[in-house]
Amino acid sequence: MHDLVIRNGLLVDGTGTPPREGDVAIDGERITAVGDGVGAGRRELDARGKVVAPGWVDIHTHYDGQVTWDPYVTPSSWHGVTTVVMGNCGVGFAPARPDRHQWLIGLMEGVEDIPGSALAEGIKWNWQSFPEYLDAVERLPRVLDVGAQVPHGAVRAYVMGERGARNEPATADDIAAMAAIVRDGVGAGALGFSSSRTLLHRAIDGECVPGTFAAADEMIGIGRVLGELGRGVLEVASDLMPEDPELSWMETLSRETGRPVTFACLQNDADPEQWRRLLAAADAAAARGGWLAPQIAARPTSMLMGLQSALHPFALHAGVHAVAHLPLAERVAHFRNPEVRAAILAEQIEAPNALFAYLLRSWHKLFALGDPPDYEPGPERSVGAIAAREGRSPESVAYDLMLENEGRSFLYFPFLNYSGGDFDAIHTMLEHPLAIVGLSDGGAHCGVICDASTPTYLLTHWVRDRRRGARLPIEQVVAHQTRATARLYGLDDRGVLAPGYLADVNVIDLDRLAIAAPEMIYDLPAQGRRLVQRARGYDATVKSGAVTYEHGEATGALPGRLVRGPQTAA
Ligand SMILES: [Zn+2]
C-alpha cells in the first residue's frame, strides 16, 4: 500500500517525452512507481483528464527576506512552484555586519522594489555570516523548498566596507577575502554566487549594486571558488553593453571552472537583435567547452501601470500627487471629475529620467492589460492606435483606461521582449537548447512588475492559448521549468516523475488553468504593498509527498526545506 497514488493522469514527466496516461505512486517523500496500475494508495487523487507534472522549479526569485517570515512564499507557491532559488542579481541579506542592515535593506528596496519598511519589520537579523543566514532560513518550516545564492553586493560591502559599497576597484586582498566568503557560503550549501552588472539596478540612494563595475579579475577570482568546490552556478544580471568583454570573461570562467554561468537574455528596443547574438555566443562557448546558460523570460518584462501601482504616465503630475494619500475609491471619484481630468491632461511635465521619457513616447506599446490579462496584444490595441482611431490624445485614452474597473485596471508596458509587437522572439528563445527559463522575479518588484505567475503562464499561453503565432508542445514547456531549471542548479533529485525522485507534483486542470488579473495587496510586514496574481486550475500541489495545496487552498502542510548544495535522485 503506497502512501499516496495520483491515479490515471496525463503524465508530462519533465524529461520532454510526450504525455502518456498513468499513475504516480508516492511513499514518504519520494516517487516509488510510475506507470499503469501501480497498486493502491492509502490516499488516492483522481487525476483523470488532468495533467500530472513535476512541481515547478523557479530559479530566479528574490524571496531572501520573505522566506524568513512567510512560510507560504507567495505568490510562487500559488502557481505550483515547489522549489525556488533566491539570492539572484547580487542582492540579499548575508553576509551582514550589524551596522549594514539598513543599507542592505536599501539595496534590496532600490534594486528589487521590495518595501524597505516591510523588510525592516520582517527581518530578524539573527545571522551575520552566510552560513548563519542559511541556518536561519532552515529553521522556518515552509510550503516549498528554498535554495540560496551568495550575493556579490552584500559580500563586497562586507569585505570592503564603503569602498565596496561605492564600487571602488577591489585589490587582490579584497578578492581573496570575497572568495573566502563565497567558499564558506557555497560550502555550507548555497547553490551559487550572483552579481548585478546593470545600470538599471540601483540602491535606494542611487548607487549601483556593489560589483556592477567589478573587473574580470574580480569576477573570475571569486568565481573560481565554484570550480574548486565543483558545484554552484554564477548568475549575472548584466546590461551586456558592450557584450564581447562580458561574454568573454563569462566563457573563460565557465571553461576554467566547469561551472555554468547564467545571464539575463532579453530583447531590448535599443538593440532588438542582440538576443540572437547572445544565443549564438552560448552555442559558440559550448563548442569550446564552456557553459553559458542564457536566462530567458516566457513573456515580456513589463511594467504594470495604474492607480494601484507605483508608476503610470501621470504619476508626476501635480494634480495626481496632491491626492496620492487618498484611498483608491476616493482618488477614482476625484479623477472622474471632468475639471480635474481636463487639468491633469493639460499639465505638461518634464520626464525626470530616460526610462520615464521612454514611457511617455511609447504609446504604441502601452496597452490595457485586461481581465483575463492579455500579454500579447496586437498593435491595433495599443493606446496610440486607439487614440489615432478615435481622434483623441493618447494621454486621454490612457487616463480613461486607468479609471476602468474602479481604478483597478492596469496599463501594460512591455519594455523588454516586445520590440516586434509579438512573442516570435520569445518563441525562438524558448526553442533554444541552452536557454533556461527564469526571470520571474518572485517576491520582487512589488510596486510595478508582477511576473511570478510565469510558471502558470507557460502552460496557459504557450501550450493552450497563443493565437498570434506558434505554440509549444506541453512536454517541452514542462521540461523547461522542471528538469532543465533543476539540473542547472544541480538539483538532480527533482523535476522528473520517475522512481527515486522527490515527490514534487502538480495535478493541473489544463482546461481551467488561468491566471487572474494582477491586484495590489497590503499583506507584507508593516502593511507593505505588493502586486500579486492568483492562479486557478491547480487541483493539487504535492511537495515531498505531502499535499500542500488542494484546489487553491493551502492544506497547512509545510514539508519544504532549505536545499543545501547539489542533490541526487535516490
Ligand atoms: Zn533578479
For residue 162, give the amino acid letter: E
Q: Cα of 400 to ligand 1 centre, how many Å?
A: 33
Helix (H/G/I), strand (E/B), else coil: 121: helix
Q: Cα of 108 to ligand 1 centre, how many Å?
A: 10
CA distances from 209 to 164, 238, 287 (A): 10, 11, 33
Q: Cα of 323 to ligand 1 centre, how many Å?
A: 32
Note the maximum CA span of the chain.
73
Residues ≥6 apart with Cβ < 8 Å to 323: 330, 331, 334
Q: Cα of 299 to ligand 1 centre, how many Å?
A: 15
Calpha distance 501→32 (Å, rounded): 8
Grid coordinates representing 182?
A: 563565497
Calpha distance 137→531 (Å, rounded): 24
Q: Cα of 85 to ligand 1 centre, how many Å?
A: 11
Helix (H/G/I), strand (E/B), else coil: 543: strand
Q: Phi first, then psi: give them for residue 524, nearest 5 degrees.
A: -75, 165
Helix (H/G/I), strand (E/B), else coil: 145: strand
Q: Cα of 61 to ligand 1 centre, how many Å?
A: 6
Q: Cα of 90 to ligand 1 centre, how many Å?
A: 8
Q: Cα of 390 to ligand 1 centre, how many Å?
A: 40
What are the per-10-residue average pLDDT scores of the chain (570 residues)?
98 98 98 95 98 98 97 98 97 96 93 90 96 98 98 96 92 97 98 92 86 91 97 94 92 97 96 97 98 98 92 89 92 96 92 82 94 97 98 96 96 96 98 97 91 97 98 98 98 98 98 96 94 97 98 98 94
For residue 348, give the amino acid letter: Q
In three state form, how does the secondary structure of 243-263 look?
HHHHHHHHHHHHHHHCCCEEE
Q: Cα of 102 to ligand 1 centre, how many Å?
A: 20
Grid coordinates representing 526?
A: 508593516
Q: Cα of 59 to ligand 1 centre, how many Å?
A: 10
Q: Cα of 543 to ligand 1 centre, how many Å?
A: 25
Q: Cα of 237 to ligand 1 centre, how many Å?
A: 7
CB-count burial class (<10 Å; 0-12, 13-18, 19+) for 338? exposed
Q: Cα of 194 to ligand 1 centre, how many Å?
A: 10
Q: Cα of 441 to ligand 1 centre, how many Å?
A: 5
Q: Cα of 416 to ligand 1 centre, how many Å?
A: 14
Q: Cα of 306 to ligand 1 centre, how many Å?
A: 23
Q: Cα of 21 to ligand 1 centre, how many Å?
A: 37
Looking at residue 146, its pLDDT comes to: 98
Calpha distance 190→173 (Å, rounded): 23
Q: Cα of 367 to ligand 1 centre, how many Å?
A: 25
Calpha distance 201→196 (Å, rounded): 7
Residues in the chain: 570
Q: Cα of 291 to ligand 1 centre, how many Å?
A: 20
Tally of CA atoms within 13 A in the half-sphere of 473 that contains its CB: 12
Calpha distance 352→355 (Å, rounded): 8
Q: Cα of 236 to ligand 1 centre, how many Å?
A: 9
Residue whose C-alpha cell reads 512541481 in the numeric block:
55
pTM given for the model: 0.96
Q: Cα of 380 to ligand 1 centre, how many Å?
A: 32
Looking at residue 356, its pLDDT comes to: 81
Q: Cα of 443 to ligand 1 centre, how many Å?
A: 10
Looking at residue 112, its pLDDT comes to: 84
DSSP label of 461: I
Q: Cα of 322 to ligand 1 centre, how many Å?
A: 33
The answer to whether the peptide bond before residue 394 is cis (omega within 30 degrees of 0) is no
Q: Cα of 86 to ligand 1 centre, how many Å?
A: 9
Tell me which residue of 229, 155, 161, 168 sits closest to 195, measured CA to CA.
Answer: 155
Q: Cα of 88 to ligand 1 centre, how many Å?
A: 5
Q: Cα of 62 to ligand 1 centre, how many Å?
A: 7
Sign of CA dihedral 204, 208, 209, 210: negative
Helix (H/G/I), strand (E/B), else coil: 500: coil
293, β-bridge pairs: 262
Calpha distance 77→548 (Å, rounded): 9
Q: Cα of 89 to ligand 1 centre, how many Å?
A: 5
Q: Cα of 350 to ligand 1 centre, how many Å?
A: 30
Residues ≥6 apart with Cβ < 8 Å to 388: none
Calpha distance 234→559 (Å, rounded): 28
Q: Cα of 205 to ligand 1 centre, how many Å?
A: 19
DSSP label of 481: T
